[in-house]
Structure 1
Amino acid sequence: MAEKPTRGGLPGGPDTVGTQPGAEPRPAGTPKIVGIVWGLLILNTLGSAGSKTIVPLPRSLIQMVTMGSLIAAFALALLVNQRLRIRPSAYVLLLTLLLVSSVIASASLESGLGALFRCGRLALFIGTLWLLTRWWDGGLTFVRHHIRMYFAVLGSVAAGLVVSPGAALPGLYGGRLVGALWPLTPPQIGQYAAVIIGLCVLLVVGRRIDRTSAVVVIVPSFVLLALTHTRTATLGLFIGLALAICSLILTSAAARRFFTWAVLCAVVAAVGFASALQSWFLRGQSQENFSSLTGRAKVWNALLAAPRSTAEQVFGVGLGDKSFGGLPIDNSWLAVYNEQGLIGITLVATIIVVLGGVALLRPPSLERACAIFLISYCAIASYTEAGLGDASPYLLHLALAASLLAAPAQAAPLLMPEVTRRHIPRWARRSEVI
């Protein structure tokens, strides 16, 4: 006979109804379909512009796949959360406010009808995140989804490299690794590789995965990262990992050992391979090209010098393709300023500050370390990459950080008479606060 739902936990069982005063209804576990939704969100943010693939893919087909994945993600999230149960999230709330300001800026159609289409895409993206907040409980479930999906993406990059090395390392990109099966640029590949390397290292330090599984992910990802010659991703990986490991040093012997060995390896590499590292870092660029950040500074100066009305300064010109004068902006803050104005910059800065502040206030834990790594990486990458103001992998990284910092949904136990407590074993009365 089926067991009846109970309230109040022991001795009758867990509070499966969730109607005890002060209790919050909570799901029994994370359904597998939630992982599929997260994977579809990642697929949507892969983009449609990039290198030439082995088999030419029409951009319209790629856009159909990416946009279709977002619609499917929203539909599946609605299916699995039909009662529209959501959890409070300052991160998603700030994204919603950013959406409102983006719609206001795009309503003038200064950037064309495409701006309103991008607002609709951002609305679906944020709506899906709201539906997924039901399962944001401070656990590592979404971290595993994140690693698996991005490792699958990197697997397609590695497959393209094996099938056609010439197409995967084209001269157009200076011999840097690109996606030969799906159009991915070197910075994209470097970003995906750096993020999953950092998360896997932290999971090993926290003993949540075995070393063999970690090596299978970390080693090929690091090789792909090296082939992309992406300096931003590499610096973001090392600085983000350093900050995350430092947050664990006082409470984890494994973190202290890892930090010590990492410092020793860094010193040996700096002494023994200085010329090779310098050559890799410069990528054969001239001093002038390097100092102007591969031409980015020229675009930034032109953007800041362009005349703007008061409305454009406050609200921006509407969501666009993150370019100015036909050239990519490649800076999240300037891209947000151009498209969403000073209001957009304020909201994005608030997102980073709030997530960082919450992470600092949390007690040391593996989940907190992963969140610190993701927040640090996104903050560093924002200097030479755009994406903090629109549906992008960076917003997904920050959403993952927000899920790691969310408080677990727990029902408050009812007070039991001492007579009842005497019948409960001592080990059953203990509870670990996470």
Structure 2
Amino acid sequence: MSGDLRHAGPSGGPDTASELPGREVRPAGTPKAVGIVWALLGLNTLGSAGAKTIVTLPRSLIQMATMGALVGAFALALALNLRLRIRPSAFVFLLTLLLVPSVIASANLEVGYGALFRCARLALFVGTLWLLSRWWDGSMTFVRYHIRMYFVALGTVAVGLAISPGTAMPEYYGGRLVGALWPLTPPQIGQYAAVIIGLTVLLVIGRRTTGGSAALIIVPSLVLLALTHTRTATVGMLIGLTLAIGSLVLTSAAARRFFVWTVVVATVAGVVFYSALQSWFLRGQSQESFSNLTGRAKVWDALLAAPRTGGEKWFGVGLSDKSFGGLPIDNSWLAVYQEQGLIGVTIVAAIILVLGGVALLRPPSLARACAIFLISYCAISSYTEAGLGDASPYLLHLALAGALLTAPATVTPAPAAAVPGRRVPRWARR
């Protein structure tokens, strides 16, 4: 898999040396260390709270590892980009603006000093993305980084399941798959699996990897996704893939064939396995529990009904652990409203709208399809998952979408060489 994902398709990076006449020669390729920076950002967003593991890991130790990964990512990115060359990015600019309400609200210390720590974490996260933007060029480079990074995370889940099935599928999570080596929750595992399945399917359609290599990623990821019983990730993946493949249907015969076969297989499977699929989707819950989204609606209603000052309404109460009254909020928009106020909600909405608008304006391509998949997946997941207002896997997915939608760097034509007896035009002497 790694060989195909690494070498398939054109590189096309902004630093790729050009041998065309009249074009300047630039540094070759994206440094391999950029992939390490991306992996460290992913490690930072894994979180420190979750399921019980085979070997109990102190939360302080996990937090040191994740925060150390972020500091290491920023330091390495800075070492790779000492001249601070960055690409214009509306996505990262809006993330930088999001720091303003975060800092203003967190400075009140209403939720404690942890809010300022989370602001520093978000600032380092955004700063690292600015440094990496130098290598954003619409190529598949960061897609491969993304797939490898989360496939390794899923590998630890699979190893934990093999070593201790009881710990990996505990009763307190309803028998759903969790991380037995690293404290990953079922929604996290489902998210990682759904994202890399979708991206790998698109790479196959775009002929950037082989079917055999893709199967090594897709099949085990599908198994892990099924064991998590994560409805949000599954629905987000299916809708995201439908929109992404639909964007390629008019220009790709492979996309048309895949779309037709998927519809046929899904229809047959839906008829034959309807009862099993319904049982998996309901997860043994009652109709009442399913209708109020496993208790989420009660938390949402209480959050919206809580009294707020004018400052809390517009700027929020500061970055916290995405909970209200001791219960998880599990909704990105309400979490942002709670922590960064209406200003934060407006900025996050602008991020989604800008990325979606740019994706719609781009001509059909594999990069555009991958970006559409990631944007739609994050938009759908935002209804039952929090993370759009702080350093999280969802912001990393959107950062990848931003990298895919970044146009290749323009190359400045070299001035015409002086020829004896020939007058050089004035524009060439400037």
> 2:330 aligns to what?
330
Aligned pairs (5 A) from 1:259-298: 259-298=259-298
- The amino acid of 1:46's aligned partner reads L
The 5-angstrom pairing of residues 359-370 of structure 1 reads 359-370=359-370
4+ runs of 1 displaced by more than 2 Å?
7-12, 412-417
Against the structure 1 CA distance between its residues 214 and 44, is the aligned structure 2 distance closer, same or farther, given a 3 Å change threshold?
same
Residue equivalent to 1:39: 39
Q: Does the alignment pair 1:201 with 2:210?
A: no
Q: CA deviation at 1:29?
A: 1.1
Q: Alpha-carbon deviation of 1:412?
A: 4.0
Q: CA RMSD in A?
A: 1.5
Q: For residue 383 of structure 2, what is the aligned residue in structure 1?
A: 383
| Cα contact 1:49–1:183 (8 A) shared by 2 | yes
Return the alpha-carbon distance in structure 2 between the equivalents of residues 8 and 205 of structure 1: 28
Alignment partner of 1:209: what SS? coil
1:349 aligns with 2:349: yes
Task: Please tell me the residue identity of whatever aligns with 1:253.
Answer: A
Q: Provide the C-alpha distance between the structure 1 equivalents of 2:256 and 2:35, rounded to a whole number of angstroms.
A: 33
1:67 offset after TM fit, Å?
0.3
Q: Counterpart in 2 of 1:94? A: 94
Contact in 2 for aligned 1:102/1:319 (Cα 8 Å): yes
Contact persistence 1:8–1:413 (CA under 8 A): no
Structure 1: runs of 5+ lacking an equivalent: 1-6, 17-25, 418-434
AA matched with 1:237: M
Q: 1:11 to 1:115 in 2, by over 3 A?
A: closer
Q: Confirm or deny that 1:122 pairs with 2:122.
A: yes
Alignment partner of 1:160 is 2:178? no
Q: Aligned runs of 1:245-260 on 2, under 5 Å?
A: 245-260=245-260
Q: Deviations over 1:307-349 (max 9, x none)?
A: 0011100000000000000000000000000000000000000
Residues 226-257 of structure 1, C-alpha deviations (whole Å, 9 max, x = no match): 00000000000000000000000000000000
Aligned ranges for residues 66-77 of structure 1 at < 5 Å?
66-77=66-77
Distance in structure 2 (CA, Å) of the matches to 1:212 and 1:286: 41
Q: Deviations over 1:15-63 (max 9, x none)?
A: 12xxxxxxxxx54210011000000000000000000000000000000
Task: Give the partner amino acid of 2:196.
Answer: I
The aligned counterpart of 1:394 is: 394
**C-alpha distance in structure 1 between counterparts of 2:20 and 2:389, whole Å:** 47
1:416 Cα shift? 7.3
1:110-163 CA distance string (max 9 Å, x none): 111000000000000000000000000110100000000100000000000000
Shift of 1:296: 0.2
Matched, 1:15 2:14: no
- 1:212-251 to structure 2, matched below 5 A, reads 212-251=212-251
Q: State the one-letter code of the partner of 1:15.
A: E
CA deviation string 1:152-182 (max 9, x = no partner): 0000000000000000000000000000000
Following TM superposition, by how much is the alpha carbon of 1:367 offset from its aligned partner in structure 2, in angstroms?
0.3
3-state SS in 2 of match to 1:77: helix
Query: What is the aligned residue count?
Result: 402
Structure 1 residues 120 and 265: alpha-carbon distance in aligned structure 2, compared to 1, 3 A threshold: same
Shift of the 10–27 alpha-carbon distance from structure 1 to 2, 3 Å rule, reads closer
C-alpha distance in 1, partners of 2:226/2:95? Answer: 33
Which position in structure 1 is the counterpart of 2:141?
141
Cα distance in 1 between the residues matched to 2:385 and 2:61 = 25
Q: Is the 8 A contact 1:9 1:414 kept in 2?
A: no
Q: Equivalent residue for 1:311?
A: 311
The Cα shift of 1:8 comes to 9.7
Counterpart-to-counterpart distance in 2, 1:392 and 1:351? 15
Find the aligned partners of 1:385 and 1:270 in 2 and give their Cα distance: 27
Q: What is aligned with 2:179? A: 179
Q: CA deviation at 1:270?
A: 1.2
Task: Give the residue type in structure 1 aligned to 2:320.
Answer: G
Pair 1:85 & 2:74 matched: no
Q: Deviations over 1:327-376 (max 9, x none)?
A: 00000000000000000000000000000000000000000000000000
Contact 1:8/1:414 (CA < 8 Å) preserved in 2?
Answer: no
Give 3-state SS (helix, strand or coil) of 2:368's partner. helix
Give 1:358's aligned residue.
358
Deviation digits for residues 378-406 of structure 1, max 9, x if unmatched? Answer: 00000000000000000000000000000
- Residues 24 and 411 in structure 2, CA contact (< 8 A), matched pair in contact too: yes
SS at match of 2:188: helix
Residue 413 of structure 1: how far off its partner (Å): 3.5
Give me the TM-score of the superposition, normalised by structure 1: 0.91
CA distance in 2, matches of 1:186, 1:9: 50
Contact 2:99 2:119 in 1 (8 A): yes
Deviation (angstroms), 1:266: 1.1
Does the aligned pair in 2 maintain the 1:74–1:127 contact within 8 Å? yes
The one-character-per-residue Cα deviations of 1:248-293 (angstroms, maximum 9, x if unpaired) are 0000000000000010011101111110000000000001100010
CA distance in 2, matches of 1:38, 1:27: 20
Distance in 2 (CA, whole Å) between partners of 1:272 and 1:116 is: 54
| Aligned residues of 2:24 and 2:414 also touching (Cα < 8 A) | no
* In structure 2, C-alpha distance between the alignment counterparts of 1:413 and 1:252, rounded to whole Å: 34
- The answer to whether the Cα contact below 8 Å between 2:199 and 2:370 also exists between their aligned partners in 1 is yes
CA distance in 1, matches of 2:322, 2:18: 52
- Report the CA distance between 1:11 and its aligned residue: 3.9
In structure 1, give the amino acid aligned to 2:142: F
Partner of 2:30: 30
2:371 paired residue number: 371
Compared with structure 1, are the counterparts of its residues 294 and 27 closer, same or farther at alpha carbon in structure 2 (3 Å cutoff)?
A: farther
Q: Tell me how far 1:415 sits from its aligned partner.
A: 8.4
3-state SS in 1 of match to 2:293: coil
